[in-house]
Amino acid sequence: MNRKYDVIVLGAGPAGLTAGIYLSRARQKVLLVDSGTAGGQMVMSYTVANYPGVETTSGWNISQTMLRQAKSFGCNVLTQSPVLGIDLSDELKSVEVEDEGTFYADAVIVATGGVPRELGMQSEQQYKGIGISYCATCDGDFFTDKEIVAIGGGNSALEEAVGLTKFASKVTIVHEFDHFQAQPWIVEEARKNDKIHFLMAQDIVDFAGDEHLEKVIVASKTTGAKTEIPAAGCFIFIGYVPNTGMFKNILDTNEHGEILTDHHMHTNLSGVFAAGDLREKRYRQITTSVADGTIAALSAIDFLQQKKTTD
């Protein structure tokens, strides 16, 4: 296997796959490495209905189409291959991949995405995708005229809960504290919304149902009294964890570990670009990751061209 590439892309979610498509089509020698299957979080999405140009399909289908497209232009792809270590400090970057050894490149695009923070309960795993969701934009429409629960008390939790009232007949916001951390304007907006109900200072005890989620069971933190909330859906908005541990103290991040870039996806290191959900940004969607991947690839091509003229 070749050891030296023009660009190595870390992560084959929509950001990484898009970068792979653009780079290989521009005749760059590219290696795309992913610790799992190609597609990233898209694979978790049973139905994707908001990717322009593609009518409702599964996340798996979009992932496989993007992968075929990248390979058709000559992109080299390694899946089930976790990246164990990186050295991005020199002009020639190195990437160590489990069982495959070390690869080298003039530029690196990091696109290792992230995962929504989970409650960590067994029943949460059971109903994931069949009632439990972490993405209102993606799945809100599936709960039209249904009663749902939204868990969380930060800005995005309340904003998403308000957004969900466009679909659901009732949204019960369940929060662990007796007050919200969200800003007053969005708390007020939620309070004014007739469809929103509040259950404060509650622990999530369990999720239950037959084939799909049917209820969320909570318990009061003060009295311990249990409440069963009928719910066809439950949205968990308790934060997001970027997969950026590997880049700690190497790339600049914010306090949440999200990588800081400029508008052209440059990081603080020359020849290193970041794209997708692992960046500091507000909206995390397939389309926004695809856009980031495009920009990162074009910036990397510019970087390589400039490097050639100065070498």
The verdict on 299 binding ligand FAD (CB under 6 A) reads no
Which segment (106-114, 150-158, 170-178, 179-187) binds ligand FAD by CB under 6 A? 106-114
Q: Is residue 249 within 8 Å of residue 269, measured between CB atoms?
A: no
Q: How far is the CB of 185 from ligand FAD (least distance, A)?
A: 26
> Site mask, ligand FAD, residues 72-91, x = CB under 6 A?
----------xx--------
- Among 276, 295, 296, 299, which residue interacts with ligand FAD (rule: CB under 6 A)? 276
Report the residue number, 141 or 252, with the smaller CB distance to ligand FAD.
Answer: 141
Report the residue number, 49 or 228, with the smaller CB distance to ligand FAD.
Answer: 49
- Among 20, 113, 131, 153, which residue interacts with ligand FAD (rule: CB under 6 A)? 113
State how far the Cα of 118 lies from the Cα of 241, in Å rounded to an integer: 9
Report the residue number, 46 or 73, with the smaller CB distance to ligand FAD.
Answer: 46
> Which is nearest to 132 in space by CA: 218, 241, 187, 209?
209
- Among 7, 30, 48, 77, which residue interacts with ligand FAD (rule: CB under 6 A)? 48
- Among 243, 253, 267, 299, which residue interacts with ligand FAD (rule: CB under 6 A)? 243
- Among 9, 28, 30, 35, which residue interacts with ligand FAD (rule: CB under 6 A)? 35
> Site mask, ligand FAD, residues 3-32, x = CB under 6 A?
-------xxxxxxx----------------
State how far the Cα of 205 lies from the Cα of 216, in Å rounded to an integer: 8
> Site mask, ligand FAD, residues 122-161, x = CB under 6 A?
------------xx--x-----------------------
Q: Is residue 228 within 8 Å of residue 220, measured between CB atoms?
A: no
Report the residue number, 140 or 271, with the smaller CB distance to ligand FAD.
Answer: 140
Report the residue number, 48 or 164, with the smaller CB distance to ligand FAD.
Answer: 48
Report the residue number, 153 or 276, with the smaller CB distance to ligand FAD.
Answer: 276
Residues that bind ligand FAD (CB under 6 A): 10-16, 33-36, 40-42, 44-45, 48, 50, 82-83, 111-114, 116, 134-135, 138, 243, 246, 276-277, 284-287, 289
